[in-house]
Amino acid sequence: MMIITHTALSIAGTALTMGTADPVVLGAAALATQLPDMDTSKSLPGRILFPVSRWLEKRFPHRSVTHSFIATGLIAFIGLPLMVVRQPIWQAVVLGYFFGWFGDVFTKSGVCAFYPSSARLVIPGNPRMRLSTGSGAEVFVFVALLAIAIATININSNGGVLTAFNKVLGVPSGAVEIVGEEGSKFLMIAQIRGRNAITQQRIDASFEVIKPLTQNDLLVKDKQGIVYRAGVSQESQILASQIQVQRSSPISVQLQSISLDSEDVYAAVANLPPERTYITGTLTIEDSEDLQLRTNPQQFSTITLQPAQGYAMAEGRSKTIAHLVSASPQEVAQQLGPYFASGSLIARTINVRS
């Protein structure tokens, strides 16, 4: 098999197996795929590594020990320091080496895959269907592998196979799964098609994803910052027929714990970053007789209230439990700011990298 065919097979196989489009990783696989042919000084790697190839050539037939599972295991062991430094490179080297000799299984002479057994692994069983180096059949195989490699790299660079299917089908559960996998690394944008659950107005718009809520629902916000639950559940404000998500900018996520013990709510959230900060948790609001929230049934309620029965009228003062789900600092300050409260909150701030 020609060097370019080995290389195309290694890149395609590694990209498919690892789901990567990293050029460094694929480059490592492409280099490693040449190593099995160092058992002959006539090959390019054999000429580069002449002392090694000369030593192997004198002791082992071509496509024997270096074209085997035992050699692949040895390469994996020798390369263990790479795993500590950067595991994907180690994986790529092992896969590249494996694909480097496995491609020769489809040639007329096959390989001693189970060395030290001298039996040769040859696929397919019909000799007429096996490849000859440089033949028209191999050129066809090379073109096919090159097309697979290009398509796979393109898919991986745009979020992988799951994202590719999501772009075509737009199944809400698939969108939630993608956000769950990539939402901690990228700002995710959702193109949602569906209807308003109350007005039945058709919706086809782009939203920024805040987080997954359930296996079928996402919490999203529009360009005005209005938050919606979008999905297929009865609680959704947007009943989605399709949700297609895609990566936007890389992000870093910062978490901050906030504990209050009969403290001013406004002071607790006043210094939080106003942009893309989402507060979740539970607070017990004191002296809350006049506490009322401004709500809109067409929007997701990031703050909800519940009477604190165990504390009701304790010491002559009423208390209310406030549940926060991805509420903005501005909303918390406006709705709960005038009150004192006890409880624990988590502020999640998304920083978009330039």
The domain limits of the chain are 3-157, 162-250, 252-352
Q: Name the pLDDT band for 158 (thresholds 50, 70, 90).
A: low
Cβ atoms of 37 and 100 within 8 Å: the answer is yes
Cα separation, 249 vs 77, in Å, equals 38
Q: Name the pLDDT band for 118 (thresholds 50, 70, 90).
A: confident
Cβ atoms of 115 and 70 within 8 Å: the answer is yes
Select from 45, 27, 48 the least CA-distant residue to 36. Answer: 45
Res 313 pLDDT > 90: no
pLDDT of residue 312: 46
Mean pLDDT of the chain, nearest integer: 90
Q: Between the CA of residue 279 and those of 303, 329, 334, what are the distances in Å?
A: 10, 7, 14
pLDDT of residue 304: 95
Res 271 pLDDT > 60: yes
Domain 162-250 has CATH 1.10.340.30: no
Global confidence as pTM:
0.64
Cα separation, 157 vs 247, in Å, equals 10
Select from 332, 225, 187, 213 the least CA-distant residue to 271. Answer: 332
